[in-house]
Amino acid sequence: MMNIALLVWRQKNRADKGRFERYEAKDISHEMSFLEMLDVVNEGLIKDGKEPIAFDHDCREGICGMCSQVINGTPHGPAERTTVCQLHMRNFKDGDVIYIEPWRAKAFPVIKDLIVDRSALDRIIQAGGYISVHTGGVPDANAILISKPDADTAMDAAECIGCGACVAACPNGSAMLFTSAKVIHLANLPQGKIEAVRRVCMMTEAMQKEGFGACSNHYECQAACPKGIKVSFISALNREFVKAQFK
């Protein structure tokens, strides 16, 4: 068991200035997840008649991308390729002081405390991150042949869970890694090639309208991504965009 101090960002809404507040987390098991530790802290706050810490979560299995928190300055915390919900307290030690903040980006306004509005990413997807062409019934798996490299690349890109850690880590607040993963995932598949030109143009335009910054190759996005999405997808997005201009 261990005792740790938490400095948590508390903010009532987007208009509120916000501030850090200190809380003591006592008798915390090393086997707890980070979110379970916050649950314990919130139970204590509720018993004392205080406002619990608002934080986002859903699956707690590392696949939904909801648990958006910056822990000690790093999106999703100190463990590589790990979401907050799968970050365990064994990554910390007794007596530690842990700073917890929401995503910091112009396109992600704070809703309350550690919860931010990430709907800007949804609007990028709505702009073209799908296949709308009617393909008929479900074909046999071997009816459409796809090369192994193309299939692997598409699967690697599809790992993106849309958490926004790349945006929070980027000093420019860029969403290029997220957008590139969603574009390249479909651009490498036969069904996605039909709308490839429209997709890359519409999604890039939507990204710019949402107020995300430009990519300047800091590579922080790749380092923070809990699924290990590579910056090579950004290069692939740029190639798709250039090709689209000639079509």
79-96 tens-digit pLDDT: 999 999 999 999 999 999
The rounded percent of the chain whose pLDDT value lies above 70 is 98
Is the pLDDT confidence value at 247 over 80? no
Asked which of 73, 89, 111 is the last residue of a domain, the reply is: 111
Asked which of 111, 136, 168 is the last residue of a domain, the reply is: 111
Whether residues 169 and 185 share a domain: the answer is yes
Q: Residue 152 CB: number of other CB atoms within 10 A?
A: 12
Whether residues 144 and 61 share a domain: the answer is no
pLDDT class for 144, splitting at 50, 70, 90? confident
Domain that holds residue 137: 119-245
Whether residues 182 and 206 share a domain: the answer is yes
> pLDDT (tens digit, 9 = 90+) per residue, 23-72?
999 999 999 999 999 999 999 999 999 999 999 999 999 999 999 999 99
pTM: predicted TM-score of the whole model, two decimal places: 0.93
**Mean pLDDT (the chain, rounded):** 94
Whether residues 135 and 232 share a domain: the answer is yes
**Amino acid found at 204:** T
Whether residues 141 and 232 share a domain: the answer is yes
Whether residues 16 and 105 share a domain: the answer is yes
Whether residues 199 and 103 share a domain: the answer is no
Whether residues 180 and 219 share a domain: the answer is yes
pLDDT number for residue 224: 97
Structure tokens at 192: 């996605």
pLDDT number for residue 141: 67
Whether residues 176 and 102 share a domain: the answer is no
Residue carrying structure tokens 């100190």? 78
For 131, residues 6+ apart whose C-beta sits below 8 A from its C-beta are 186, 191, 192, 194, 195
Whether residues 129 and 106 share a domain: the answer is no
Domains held by the chain: number: 2
Asked which of 73, 94, 111 is the last residue of a domain, the reply is: 111
β-pairing, 110-112 vs 19-28, is: unpaired
Whether residues 83 and 31 share a domain: the answer is yes
For 127, residues 6+ apart whose C-beta sits below 8 A from its C-beta are 202, 203, 205, 206
Beta strands in the chain, from DSSP E residues, in sequence order: 2-10, 19-28, 70-71, 74-75, 97-101, 110-112, 115-116
Is the pLDDT confidence value at 204 over 70? yes
Looking up residue 36, the CATH number of its domain turns out to be 3.10.20.30
Looking up residue 130, the CATH number of its domain turns out to be 1.10.1060.10
For 222, residues 6+ apart whose C-beta sits below 8 A from its C-beta are 166, 177, 228, 229, 230, 231
Vertex 228: Cα angle to 180 and 89 (nearest 5): 135
Whether residues 83 and 29 share a domain: the answer is yes
Per-residue burial over 116-150, b if 16 or more Cβ lie within 10 Å, else e, is: bebebbeebeebbbeeeeeeeeeeeeeeeeeeeee
